[in-house]
Amino acid sequence: MGRAFVYVILGGGVAAGYAALEFVRRGISHGKLCIISEESVAPYERPALSKGFLLPEDPARLPSFHTCVGVNEERLTPEWYREHGIELVFGTKVKSADVRRKTLLTATGETISYKILIIATGARALKLEEFGVRGSDAENVCYLRNLADASRLVDVMRSCTGGNAVVVGGGYIGMECTAALVKNRIKVTWVFPGKHCMGRVFTPKIASFYEEYYKSMGVNFIKGTVVTSFENDSGGKVTAVILKDGRRLPADMVVVGIGIRANTGLFEGQLNMEKGGIKVNGRMQTSNSSVYAVGDVAAFPIKLFGNDVRRLEHVDSARKTARHAVAAITAPCTTGDLDYLPFFYSRVFTLSWQFYGDNVGEVVHFGDFSSGRFGAYWVGKGRLMGAFLESGSREEYEAIAKAVKLKATVKDMAKLEGEGLEFAFQV
């Protein structure tokens, strides 16, 4: 049993949705493109799962956040794909891939062949078991990667109103889920191994601002330690979390966000890998010229960083690498290498921030931390490498993005600190 397509997108997440829109914009004919996804719904804006989806009132639900609403483009519902002659093979996991034969074998036993493959398999959440902790499959322990996880998290939250949650992991999931739990009237103890939250982006000073805000919302912090085991009731539900430092935290529910692994497994030994992802060139092409990789699974050269290869785990890069791959496939002569400016953001409670570039070099903070109007610049070899801004306006975010993109020259760090946002506006 088998079907053949000119183009196959493997994975039905953010990158798949943006790639599909780009194919349609570029005039793809009916019947040429197929999307295979383990998820049973059309591609959606995954960031909604830790934000609008978890709100206690008027929560976001599909179809409202299908791609590509995240950048105010068309909302691609299942009907949209049908109208454009795109074949959807949903609720179907691909079990093996053969890039020499150009075939994918699905769990239902179907062989799907392609001329060009776009790998958009994203990533999976790391499990506590991978760190030697048992029992995270209990019904009140939640991970968060896909719609099914988010729906379960909502159910568990609803059953714990007024109770206690332990949030494990000091990164994005920890930060955004803690805020969601508080909004759902659940008391949170946030546990992570680092000295401060969001170690991948925040400086200690920025983290301290956020941690004080979280404390003012009633969040209890336990830093510098990890979970070692769970206590359970007779039904298997977790009732307490035991930490390495010996503490015991009673818990009605647990949320775990301890990082991800890119879903590269189908292609190990077949394609070149780097930085935990599938290595691609500036056109998103892998070491096999008929295969492209985009989104969280792709490690691509960043021109701005001297073509250093990075694997980014953010929605903006998923959107842009996907569109670029389709441009490179359909208009090879006019598509050069992607010139990408890394962009990360988050929104929690009434706070929000954006970061552009790379957080390397010497840091200068600016603005007023007491009023929540502040930012930071990272400077290396006299050039601006990265910029962070809290609660900025569109113009302000555009200004810092432009200054980083141009790697603005910084002559005097003290002057930069004094100028703050003005520096970016003068670039």
The binding site for ligand NAD (CB under 6 A) comprises: 50, 131, 168-174, 176, 192-194, 199-200, 226, 257-260, 313-314, 344, 346
Distance CA 335, CA 326 (A): 10
Tell me how long the chain is.
427
Compute the least distance from the CB of residue 161 to ligand FDA, in Å: 21
Residue 169 interacting entry, from ligand FDA, ligand NAD, none, C-beta within 5 to 8 Å by type: ligand NAD
Q: Token pair 């931390």 is at which residue?
A: 369
Beta bridge partners of 379: 362, 384
- What would the DSSP string read from start to end of 103-150? EEEETTS-EEEEEEEEE---EEEPPGGGGT---TTSTTEE--SSHHHH
Compute the least distance from the CB of residue 28 to ligand FDA, in Å: 19
Residue 316 interacting entry, from ligand FDA, ligand NAD, none, C-beta within 5 to 8 Å by type: ligand FDA
Distance CA 370, CA 280 (A): 44
Compute the least distance from the CB of residue 222 to ligand NAD, in Å: 11
Cβ–Cβ under 8 Å, residues 182 and 188: yes
Compute the least distance from the CB of residue 15 to ligand FDA, in Å: 3
- When asked if residue 22 is in the footprint of ligand FDA (CB under 6 A), the reply is no
Nearer to ligand NAD, 163 or 193 (CB): 193
Nearer to ligand FDA, 136 or 423 (CB): 136
Compute the least distance from the CB of residue 288 to ligand FDA, in Å: 17
Phi, psi (deg, nearest 5) at residue 353: -140, 160
Q: How many residues bind ligand FDA (CB under 6 A)?
A: 35
- What would the DSSP string read from start to end of 198-247? -TTT--HHHHHHHHHHHHHTT-EEEES--EEEEEE-TTS-EEEEEETTS-
> With CB under 6 A as the contact rule, which of the stretches 10-18, 218-226, 248-256, 380-388 interacts with ligand FDA?
10-18
Q: What is the DSSP letter of 27?
A: T
How many beta carbons lie within 10 A of that of residue 417, not counting itself? 15
Among 79, 16, 73, residue whose Cα is nearest residue 46: 16
- When asked if residue 296 is in the footprint of ligand FDA (CB under 6 A), the reply is yes
Residue 194 interacting entry, from ligand NAD, ligand FDA, none, C-beta within 5 to 8 Å by type: ligand NAD
Residue of the chain from 9, 14, 180, 325 that contacts ligand FDA (CB under 6 A): 14
Compute the least distance from the CB of residue 109 to ligand NAD, in Å: 32
> Taking the alpha carbons of 195, 200, 202, 207 in that order, is the dihedral positive or negative?
negative
390 by DSSP, 3-state: which?
strand
- When asked if residue 344 is in the footprint of ligand FDA (CB under 6 A), the reply is yes
Closest residue to ligand NAD in the complex (CB): 171
Distance CA 68, CA 105 (A): 28
> Rule CB under 6 A: which residues touch ligand FDA?
11-16, 36-39, 46-47, 49-50, 93-94, 120-123, 144-145, 263, 266, 295-297, 313-316, 318, 344-346
